[in-house]
Amino acid sequence: MFEPDDEARVLVVIVPRPRDLELARREGWYRLPLAHAPPRLAADYLAFYQPGSFGAERWRVQRYAAVIRYRIALRRELLPDEPRHPRANERYYRIDVGPLRELDRPVPAARLRRITFIATTFGRLQQALDVTDLFIPPPPPDVWGSGLAGRSIR
């Protein structure tokens, strides 16, 4: 199996419970409520952040998978065994993914534990020593576009 390119787009997503990661592994999809989707949803890969519910494997990114396609479905269609769930009629992205792969080195969260989404690259994912290393810094402010041009500022 080939390694993704360093510039491949990765979206780090939270996997609330081990059961959800098992669904991604066994059935090949991940769900994301439309109402909570990040503005930059398009990605080549999903990387899965494991919160406190993962016990000894908590607060880390350990696995990733290639994105195959995006669909929209009702939660009750995705999880028919939960027809009375409070969000059963809400719309979700169903993101079909390829086989889950292990990172060579998991990326822990030494301090930052509340993750929602992180848009990053595969190169950053491979090199990160902490989850905070995954954040891509914003570009420098555009001084010329801020109205400072022509004000004799050196």
What is the rounded average pLDDT of the residues 90-108?
A: 97
pLDDT beyond 70 at 127: yes
* pLDDT single digits (tens) 27-50: 999 999 999 999 888 999 999 999
What ranges do the domains of the chain cover?
A: 9-131
Question: The pTM is what?
Answer: 0.85
What is the rounded average pLDDT of the residues 18-32?
A: 97
State the DSSP string of the chain.
-PPPPTT-EEEEEE--SHHHHHHHHHHSEEEEEGGG--S----SEEEEEE-GGGGGG-SEEEEEEEEEEEEEEEHHHH-TT-TT-TTTTSEEEEEEE---EEEEEEEE-SS-----EEEEEHHHHHH-SSGGGGSPPPPPP-TGGGT-TTS---
CATH number of 9-131: 2.30.130
pLDDT beyond 80 at 151: no
* % of the chain surpassing 70 pLDDT: 86
